[in-house]
Structure 1
Amino acid sequence: MTYAAPLRATETLVPVLSLPPVVLAVDDLCVAYGHTPVVDRVTFTIRAGEVVALVGESGSGKTTTAQALIGLLPPGGRVTSGSIRFDGELVSGFTERQFQGLRGKRIALVPQDPGSSLNPVRTVGSQVAEVFRLHTDHRPDLIRREVLSLFERVGLSDPELRYDQYPHELSGGMKQRVLIAMAVALRPDLIIADEPTSALDVTVQRRILDLIDGLRRDFGTAVLLVTHDLGVASDRADRIVVLQKGRIQDSGLARDVLGSPSSPYTRQLLADAPSIAQGVRARPAPSADARRLVEVQGLRQQFATADGQTFTAVRDITFSVAAGTTHALVGESGSGKTTTARIIAGLQRPTSGTVRVDGVEVTALSGEALRHFRRKVQLVYQNPFQSLDPRQTVGQIIEEPLLNFGPVPAPERKKRVLALAERVHLDRALLARRPAALSGGQRQRVAIARALILDPSVLVLDEAVSALDVTVQARILELLAELQRDLGLTYLFVSHDLAVVRAIADTVSVFQAGQQVEQGPVETVFSTPATDCTRQLLAAIPGATLNARFAKPTA
């Protein structure tokens, strides 16, 4: 703390806070692709040691803004006006060569998808070492020691082993830690974290964000956090900038933006974020004598490993699902959720145990009987783009199951497709388009319509909303609740996100390392968790402490 110049005797000593220096200053930034403006007069600053969050849905201009800051706009993108200053220097007119001198050394990027951001044919150690080879004159032995030290710092187990491994040998969380090690190798002044945890489990997400926060504290690094999740922003950011269609809707201290948002758009984001809207689904738990549509008993699944050993992915799983309700399977990646769901859907035969769906023993079926059983249980996958044939129109995609299960006349098929499009609130004009022309939410509606065309009794939803922005996610959850109410559907909802589970499920099973460690009504399990695993999952929900953090003090 510093003070003003000497005072006269009648004056009061007034402290003048020394603010950290401004690392990044963006003023009236405008970006266009061709003649189409996508970022319009965006203005914000980031000081040393500060976290500023850029928040908004897909298409809001968040990533485009971040790309413009470091000269990484895709072909056709250009800064049309405004200025970008880094450490006081005007960089908005930099050439690619000039930006190369900043990227990696003074400004680091942590991208969204760790799987596609690492070279698959090079070891992760050599890729991090490349940063030192490009920007320092260190000897090879010193570079290796630096990389191993970084791996240890970012929490990678057995750094010596990881150094010589390839990306496909690491989990998603491990790969993201490698990218963070690469980003902080030279202690940059600014880290741009573009959705760095959106593809990760909530517990891994928390560890990664804790890691970035620790580096910020230790080195005074400024952080630009790009996210669609106001829950994440509420936990991590000092200031928040909310973007919609390239324009700022709200901007200021996190407590002000989230405590009293000035724009309807920000208020909608807050209402749609399941991690912030903490209410449990308002409906009673199924009664003890309710008809059990799905019954799982003593389920076990083992796989042979490359070295001749046996790996047990699922062990002794037992639960049941009442007709017309939603049962959630929750846990981290590798906990056995998806394996269990695939067995229930008849896509995988277990090593032992039984599964009954509407009285039918699924594990005993084969051939034509198994094929016809699959009409009763349909799957909706995590990524709607990858699960839809890009060569087919939307109408053809929805119609296709009818062609696979018996002759249905063309007029009847068309009638059913139109009825389902209306049921899932999909404009019939979209039926002639292909998936690439649809948004993520529209694609997931197509996937749901395709699953419903055969009139199933059970839908298995495998991370069906985890790839969607919170606003789109909220609309899909509303659609699923409407369909369940109107059609009497039973859902098996696979998710790592307890905030979403809290919003949609009636009952829940918590998985850890292939075992079911807890189960029961959602309200009971979430309010009085019996295991450390469940408590850790609940504690990792971003934004869970929003009300406490921004609560107004009482008199």
Structure 2
Amino acid sequence: MSTATAPHPASAANADLPVLEINNLAVSYRSNNDFQRVVHNVSLQVRPGEIVALVGESGSGKTTTAQAVIGLLAENGRLESGAIRLNGTDIAGWSEKRLDTIRGSKISLIPQDPTGSLNPVKTIGTQVAEVFQIHRRGTRAEIEAGVIDLLARVGLSQPELRARQYPHELSGGMRQRVLIAIAVAMRPALIIADEPTSALDVTVQQRILDLIDGLREEYGTAVLLVTHDLGVAADRADHLVVLKGGRVQEQGPTAEILASPRSDYTRKLLADAPSLAKAQRVKRAGPRPAPEGGHAIVVEDLVQDFPLDRGRRGAFRAVDGISFKVARGTTHAVVGESGSGKTTTARSVVGFQKPTSGRILVDGVDVTTLRGEALRQFRRTIQLVYQNPFASLDPLQTIYQIIEEPLLNFDPLPREERARKIHAILDRVRLPQSVLTRRPRTLSGGQRQRVALARALVLEPQVLVLDEAVSALDVTVQAQILGLLDELQQALGLTYLFISHDLAVVRQISDTVSVLYNGRQVDSGTVEDVFLRPGSPYTRELIGAIAGQRNLPMMNTSNHFVGTGQ
């Protein structure tokens, strides 16, 4: 092995001492002229080769705690009190310059966003080499060899080629492997993994977590895992630290907390996690056709081609012969990884693009034949709710204006009637009337998604297409939105086309499902049939990759958990 990748493991003599020890940590943020404390007397330990997970909702203090450890608090943040000991040395009061000497070499960070964390104008090899150059490890030739060795170690195919490529030429999973390579280059004693897989598909997530696990075992590295995904924490962590409002609710061995959580908040988190709460379906099993019966959506032999880039002949087939039917008043899920064709299918059903061939009937109307005003009016029947509630709402509009806009586009109603509809739909999605004068930035993620639902429902459509509509939400907020969707479906007789990569959520909310792989449908049927008797190896792989299955059999049934059922 080259000098560039020389190890820096904790010494055997210190193997029983914590790599990281936090005592009574308090952190605050400045707002105007005042400081508001957001982390309150947090204490925890991480030992060599151990994974400790910080879990909690947004605003719980988990990321702030992790940032304090590595000295990367926001400019308006300050460490008020407490000790942060790395291999016995308190680094809490260290200057930025002094912290730079240990970042990368003794303590490393795997950030959440693989796209925003890499420099788009530098090659992958250049960016990995920088960590060696900063810490002056090896000659130029040794560093180049070390880069290739690292990229190979984190499982990137053709590492020499990857070293010459730029971030945009790699997939999300490949970019995350590059960030892991940078984090482990100096073989630090501690790695902080901040939501390292939250933006990845389930199978890619499993491979990345396996990679971190393997490197931890090989190097004896301690890992502080920051996550809102209880399934990931249940599978991977030795210890859990549960945070709420910046305070530790409980902590201890993962198996013990999963089996017998002591705090009400932990019990709620576990009950709300779709990958853990297998016994708690949002709705009763099986299709539930509305009284009028029939199918709200019929898709037959859908094909969607897209022309290749300039200079290249032919077309790329994104969807290849997909067929399914959705009974009125039920939920049909379309699942698969990025690139599987699920979003392309959804856009075709909504009428945003004309398919290459095939037939799509929505409420008896062939969408593929509609043009102009007929197509515009058709969109009153079917509405789309997007994934990201932070990006899908106009930041300059008030909530009233956002919900009113579809009425202005379609219904020439008097102002008083529009107001009545807006107030009624706000009640329906369980938002207070006081939000109508506010703007999206002042609302939480869950509130914004309720606004998005209100905007979609104000026209009284028959069908909602939900494109990853809960994937950007914390587990508790996600559970609230899923419960709301079920209430709305039962009250209004809605039909849902639910687009998702999260099979745990699909199992919880859907009646029927289509599994897509590389544009083809490889499995379809009722949720129970597909999950219990998957017909394709790909579906089996997807189901096997659902986080949270490793520790399920040991859970106490009094807490509403059951075994895997596989």
User: Unmatched 5+ residue regions in structure 2?
Assistant: 1-12, 558-566
| Contact 1:276–1:546 (Cα < 8 Å) also in 2 | no
Q: Which structure 2 residues correspond to residues 69-80 of structure 1 after superposition, within 5 A?
A: 69-80=69-80
Question: What is aligned with 1:13?
Answer: none
After TM superposition, list the pairs within 5 Å mapping 1:398-413 onto structure 2: 398-413=403-418
In the other structure, the counterpart of 2:427 is 422
The match for 1:8 is none
Measured in 1, the distance between the counterparts of 2:489 and 2:262 equals 35
Percent identity reads 61
1:359 equivalent to 2:364? Answer yes
Which residue identity does 1:98 align to in structure 2?
A: R
Change over 3 Å in CA distance of 1:262–1:525 after alignment to 2:
same
Decide whether the 8 Å contact of 1:329 with 1:492 is kept in 2: yes
Other-structure match for 2:222:
222
Matching residue of 1:149: 149
Q: 2:468 is matched with which residue: 454, 458, 463?
A: 463
Q: Secondary structure at the match of 2:101?
A: helix
Q: CA deviation at 1:286?
A: 4.9
Deviations 1:91-118 (CA, angstroms, capped at 9, x unpaired) = 0001000111111121110111111111
Q: Secondary structure at the match of 1:117?
A: coil
Give the CA deviation at 1:359.
1.1
8 Å Cα contact 2:250-2:263 kept in structure 1:
yes
Deviation, structure 1 residue 310? 2.0
Shift of 1:21: 2.7
Alpha-carbon distance, 1:282 to partner: 1.9
Is the 1:508–1:519 Cα contact (8 Å) retained in structure 2? yes
| Alignment partner, residue 564 of structure 2 | none
Residue of structure 2 in register with 1:110 after alignment:
110
Q: Does the CA contact (< 8 Å) of 1:323 and 1:489 recur in 2?
A: yes
Alignment of 1:34-183 (within 5 A): 34=30, 35-183=35-183
Contact persistence 2:383–2:463 (CA under 8 A): yes
**Which moves more between the two structures, 27-36 or 279-288?**
279-288
Identify which of 363, 384, 390 aligns with 1:385. Answer: 390
CA drift of 1:120 comes to 1.5
CA contact (8 A) 1:329 1:493 kept: yes
What does the per-residue CA deviation read over 1:340-389, in whole Å, with 9 as the maximum and x for residues that have no partner? 00000001111111111011111111111111111111111110110110
Q: Which residue type is aligned with residue 227 of structure 2?
A: T
Whether 1:197 aligns to 2:202 is no
SS at match of 1:353: strand
Kindly state the Cα deviation for residue 542 of structure 1 after the two structures are TM-superposed.
0.8
CA RMSD across the alignment: 1.6
**Contact kept in structure 2, 1:278 and 1:544, CA below 8 Å:** no
Q: Which amino acid aligns with 2:270?
A: L
1:283 aligned partner: 285
Deviation for aligned residue 1:549: 4.4
TM-score by length of 2: 0.92
> 3-state DSSP class of the match of 1:92?
coil
Write the distance in 2 (CA, Å) between the matches of 1:137 and 1:484.
61
- Displacement of 1:42 after TM fit? 0.3
Residues 551 and 486 of structure 1: CA distance in aligned 2, closer, same or farther (over 3 Å): closer
Counterpart of 1:303 (choices 306, 309, 325) is: 306
Deviates more, 1:161-170 or 1:261-270: 161-170
Q: Secondary structure at the match of 1:29?
A: strand
**Which residue does the alignment assign to 1:451?**
456
Judge which range, 286-295 or 46-55, deviates more.
Answer: 286-295
CA distance in 1, matches of 2:143, 2:409: 58
Change (3 A) 1:308 1:299: same
Instruction: Specify the code of the residue in structure 2 equivalent to 1:363.
Output: T
Distance, in Å, in 2 between the alignment partners of 1:71 and 1:549 is: 38
- Asked if 1 retains the 8 angstrom alpha-carbon contact of 2:271 and 2:277, the reply is yes
CA distance in 1, matches of 2:483, 2:39: 31
CA contact (8 A) 2:289 2:329 kept: no
1:33 lines up with 2:29 in the alignment: yes
CA shift digits 1:253-299 (9 cap, x unpaired): 11111111110000000100000011344233357994011010111
1:515 to 513, 520, 528: 520
Aligned-partner residue type, residue 524 of structure 1: D
Counterpart amino acid of 1:46? V
Q: TM-score, normalised by structure 1?
A: 0.94
1:542 aligns with 2:547: yes
Q: Which residue of 2 aligns with 1:345?
A: 350
Q: 1:126, 1:19 → 2: CA distance?
A: 34
State how far apart, in whole Å, the 2-side matches of 1:161 and 1:311 are.
24
Structure 1, 279-288 or 217-226: larger mean CA deviation: 279-288
**Equivalences for 1:494-533 in 2 at 5 Å?**
494-533=499-538
For residues 205-254 of structure 1, give each alpha carbon's deviation from its aligned partner in whole angstroms, at most 9, with x where no partner exists: 11110000000000000000001121111100000000000000010111
Deviation at 1:496, TM superposition (A): 0.5
1:11 aligned partner: none
2:319 is the alignment partner of 1:314:
yes
Residue type of the partner of 2:364? G
CA contact (8 A) 2:288 2:329 kept: no
Residues in 1 aligned to 2:179 and 2:76: alpha-carbon distance in whole angstroms: 27
Q: Which amino acid aligns with 1:437?
A: T
Residue 7 of structure 2 corresponds to none
In the alignment, does 2:445 pair up with 1:440? yes
Amino acid at match of 1:474: A
Measure the CA separation in 1 of the matches of 2:391 and 2:443: 13
Where in structure 2 are the equivalents of 1:233-312 lying within 5 Å?
233-279=233-279, 280=281, 281-286=283-288, 290-306=293-309, 307-312=312-317
| Structure 1 position 492 matched with structure 2 position 476 | no
Is the CA contact (8 Å cut-off) linking 1:304 and 1:311 kept in structure 2?
Answer: yes
Counterparts of 2:23 and 2:159, CA distance in 1: 42
For 1:83 and 1:340, the matched residues in 2 are separated by 53
User: Amino acid of the residue matched to residue 286 of structure 2?
Assistant: P
Distance in 2 separating the partners of 1:18 and 1:135: 24
- Contact 1:108 1:191 survives alignment (8 Å): yes
> Structure 2: how far apart are the matches of 1:365 and 1:70?
57
Matched residue SS, 1:383? coil
**C-alpha contact 1:28 1:41 (8 A) present in aligned 2:** yes
- Residues 1:357 and 1:298: Cα distance change in structure 2 (over 3 Å): same
Tell me what 1:24 maps to. 20
Structure 2 counterpart of 1:169, which letter? E
Query: 1:4 maps to what in 2?
Result: none
How many Å apart are 1:199 and its aligned residue? Answer: 1.0
One-letter identity of the residue aligned with 1:529: P
Amino acid at match of 2:481: I
1:10 match: none
Distance 1:519 1:304 in 2: 29
Unaligned runs of 5+ in 1: 1-16
427-436 vs 152-161, which moves further: 152-161
CA contact (8 A) 1:420 1:453 kept: yes
The whole-number CA distance in structure 1 between the counterparts of 2:23 and 2:128 is 33
3-state SS of 2:42 partner? strand
Q: Is the 8 A contact 2:255 2:551 kept in 1?
A: no
CA distance in 1, matches of 2:471, 2:246: 24
Kept in 2: contact 1:52–1:223 (CA 8 A)? yes
- AA aligned to 1:285 is P
